[in-house]
Amino acid sequence: MYEVEIKVPATLDTVRARLEALDATSRGRVVQTDTYYDAPHRSFGETDEALRIREERLETDDAGASTRADDGGDSNALETTLTYKGPLIDAASKTREEHETKLADGTAMRRALESLGFEPAATVRKERERYGLDGLTVTLDRVDGVGEFVEVETEAETEAAIDDRREAALAILEQLELEADEQLRTSYLELTLEG
């Protein structure tokens, strides 16, 4: 599986209004805390790889109800995932091979990684609002200490499908009146470490 992503800096209030005008489907808000690890046998920073444990907590509305449509109404839901991201493979987007799995026990996974010599490298916290538009995901991100960004994301089953999926993401960017030439191929981790 390949994650195809276009990320640009943006003013979130403006983009949110454009999404509403396009009748995009709100998929709710979450807060994510990503802890990135470095391997004992190589530097992921040098190889352009990433290994992270993500804790995602659903945000609630004023009445205390979850803002995400697919959580079964559990406003205290915490979802933990382990993700490996390979090096960037596309010069025109942030496309990379990705493998992800849900964890029943994030603490146990952290202990296992650290026992194997993996060390926490950095933590990135962000507030995310997700929308669906034309079969793609548009995410409005407010990243602590870094700023506001919009990501347009989709998946490609094969490497041959990457170009078509990237073009679909660029079309969404155009609908949102955002500039593709402002695209950042730098990860939030790298932006956090640079800050």
Active-site residue list: 36
Q: Which tokens belong to 183? A: 């695209």
153 neighbors 5 (Cβ within 8 angstroms): yes
Q: DSSP states of 112-130 as a string?
A: HHHHTT-EEEEEEEEEEEE
Q: Are the C-beta atoms of residues 6 and 96 closer than 8 Å to each other?
A: no
At 171, which amino acid appears?
A: A
Q: Which residues fall within 8 angstroms of residue 178, CB to CB, at 6 or more apart?
A: 8, 10, 15, 150
Say if residues 74 and 58 touch (Cβ distance below 8 Å): yes
